[in-house]
Chains A and B, each alone.
Chain A
Amino acid sequence: EADIYQTPRYLVIGTGKKITLECSQTMGHDKMYWYQQDPGMELHLIHYSYGVNSTEKGDLSSESTVSRIRTEHFPLTLESARPSHTSQYLCASSDPKTGGVYGYTFGSGTRLTVV
């Protein structure tokens, strides 16, 4: 059973709107990540965090921001949604204290459609 939760599961919004995708995990993992993935395609890293007050940009970060005020919470904000943002957004976490031996745990994702 997943211990990382994303809301909303599906979202349809208009162009220019500001949106925040929520991600929470109950595993106490320090590392968290946001990925963008089109159906059946590659995963592209948007942002990641090593812990509280730590955020880093990935390859697709230019149009979004993240924050990490609490270990368990890592929201992603799109300041002005565009049709090109239509995609699936996956949140993941990992525990560096275990040396990564359990890999990444992913949330169920948010399917975003911008009209």
Chain B
Amino acid sequence: QQPVQSPQAVILREGEDAVINCSSSKALYSVHWYRQKHGEAPVFLMILLKGGEQKGHDKISASFNEKKQQSSLYLTASQLSYSGTYFCGTESPGNQFYFGTGTSLTVIP
């Protein structure tokens, strides 16, 4: 039931790009993305409500493939401030909501 994220961890240099994937075994109504910095609470980044939807702000964007029950988060030209653990959250029929397994992202100078 819990969506699986890949990769589990990634290390980037400033300016590099990264993709984080979130896969569910269940049909999805929506996908959330959150970032959690060390020692802090998760912070909401964005929600995708429709299959095929793509959304983004600044250099962080996401897509939602409803048929494949997947979502991807794209970080372009990464900055040091992007470091943290990224969680997807998926809502399925019956209002079941689960957070993903998490992806640790570290950006180094």
Residues in chain A within 8 A of chain B (CB atoms)? 2, 35, 40-43, 45, 90, 99-109
Query: Would you call B102 and A90 a contact (CB within 8 A)?
Result: no
Residues in chain B within 8 A of chain A (CB atoms)? 2, 30, 32, 34, 38, 40-47, 49, 85, 87, 89, 91, 98-102, 104
Helix, strand, loop or mixed for chain B's interface?
strand
Q: A104-B44, A107-B41 given as contacts; is B89 within 8 A of A41 (CB)? A: no
The residue in chain A whose Cβ has the minimal distance to the Cβ of B102 is A42
Please indicate the chain A residues that have their CB under 8 angstroms from the CB of B43 in the complex: 106
Please indicate the chain A residues that have their CB under 8 angstroms from the CB of B98 in the complex: 45
Expressed in whole angstroms, the minimum distance between the Cβ of A72 and any Cβ of chain B is: 18
The residue in chain A whose Cβ has the minimal distance to the Cβ of B101 is A42
Expressed in whole angstroms, the minimum distance between the Cβ of B54 and any Cβ of chain A is: 16
Please indicate the chain A residues that have their CB under 8 angstroms from the CB of B30 in the complex: 100
Query: Would you call A108 and B44 a contact (CB within 8 A)?
Result: no
Please indicate the chain A residues that have their CB under 8 angstroms from the CB of B85 in the complex: 40
Query: Would you call A104 and B49 a contact (CB within 8 A)?
Result: no
Expressed in whole angstroms, the minimum distance between the Cβ of B92 and any Cβ of chain A is: 13
Query: Would you call A103 and B34 a contact (CB within 8 A)?
Result: yes
Query: Would you call A42 and B99 a contact (CB within 8 A)?
Result: yes
Please indicate the chain A residues that have their CB under 8 angstroms from the CB of B91 in the complex: 100
Complex Cα distance A105/B30, Å?
17
Q: A103-B34, A108-B41 are in contact. List 20 more A-B contacts (CB 8 A).
A: A40-B85, A41-B102, A42-B99, A42-B100, A42-B101, A43-B87, A45-B98, A90-B42, A100-B30, A100-B47, A101-B47, A103-B46, A103-B89, A104-B34, A104-B44, A104-B89, A105-B44, A106-B41, A106-B42, A107-B41
Query: Would you call B32 and A104 a contact (CB within 8 A)?
Result: yes
Query: Would you call B101 and A103 a contact (CB within 8 A)?
Result: no
**Interchain residue pairs with CB less than 8 A apart (24):** A35-B99, A40-B38, A40-B102, A42-B87, A42-B99, A42-B101, A43-B42, A43-B99, A45-B98, A90-B41, A90-B42, A100-B32, A103-B32, A103-B44, A103-B45, A103-B47, A104-B34, A104-B42, A104-B89, A106-B41, A106-B43, A107-B41, A108-B40, A108-B41
